[in-house]
A and B are shown apart, each in its own frame.
Chain A
């Protein structure tokens, strides 16, 4: 089955700095890569996703990049703010019975210091 590795496990930055979280996946059949944000004590929620037919996607201060050849994808957060502090999960998905079942990474705890 699919295996997703996520690094780093913890990332500490100063407010205003950029943060980068990297993930690798093992199955070349994976073609959908969502990112979820989980604030302390809350549920994970989708913040951005990328499909395998594009290499980059941006949404305001966050962007994702995908390198299918190398089987890795990354989340970039610019101008970090304290409210960005959370656990971020990457996932790799492939089609299964009409839907996409994700395999999640272990998560990255991002801490943004004011």
Chain B
């Protein structure tokens, strides 16, 4: 398996523009997570899905952020409108279900810079 695949790897955009980050989880994984990483706040869980259904979005910072998972192999995280404080690395991750403890597999991240 190619692992969790994210795109774009790097994006520079102007304040006010819409940003869409994409993720393909590992095939067969039931859980998909979106994390944001910054120096100030570390790794923050934004939202996670189980079987394509959003379970907990309490980490989504505000209404400018939205996430969807239309099918088991694709998810998007959208920021509209973007602001400079949204600059961060956004990781998508996936995990299987069952067992006693699960390994979370991270993608390589999308490095977002909003100017």
Contact B42 A105 (CB under 8 A): yes
Assess the B43–A46 pair: CB atoms within 8 A.
Answer: no
Known contacts A34-B103, A43-B107, A46-B104; is A99 also within 8 Å of B43 by CB?
Answer: no
B42, B55, B108: the one contacting A97 at CB < 8 Å is B55
Q: Check if B48 is an interface residue, CB within 8 A of chain A.
A: yes
Q: Provide the B26-59 mask, 1 if CB < 8 A to any CB of A, else 0.
A: 0000110000000001110100101000011000
Is B71 on the interface with A (CB-CB < 8 A)? no
- Chain B interfacial residues counted at CB < 8 A: 24
Contact A32 B100 (CB under 8 A): yes
A78 at the interface (CB under 8 A from B): no
Q: Chain A binding site: helix, strand, loop or mixed by DSSP?
A: strand
- Complex Cα distance, B98 from A44, in Å, reads 22
In contact, A99 and B42 (Cβ under 8 angstroms): no
Count of interface residues, chain A, beta-carbon cutoff 8 Å: 23
Q: Least Cβ distance of B9 to chain A in Å?
A: 11
Measured CB to CB, the nearest residue on chain A to B108 is A43
Does A29 make an interface contact (CB < 8 A)? no
Are B42 and A107 touching (Cβ within 8 A)? Answer: yes
Q: A46 to B3, alpha carbons, bound, how many Å?
A: 14
Q: A101 — which chain B residues lie within 8 A by C-beta?
A: 31, 45, 48, 56
Please name 6 further chain A to chain B contacts, defined as beta carbons within 8 Å, in addition to the given A42-B108, A89-B43, A104-B43, sorted by A numbering.
Answer: A43-B106, A43-B109, A46-B104, A98-B98, A99-B95, A104-B45
Chain A interfacial positions (CB closer than 8 Å to B): 32, 34, 42-46, 49, 51, 89, 93, 96-107
Some 5 contacts from A to B, beta carbons below 8 A apart, are A34-B104, A46-B103, A51-B100, A99-B31, A106-B42
10 interchain residue pairs of minimum CB distance:
A32-B101, A106-B42, A43-B106, A104-B43, A98-B97, A46-B103, A44-B106, A99-B97, A100-B101, A99-B102
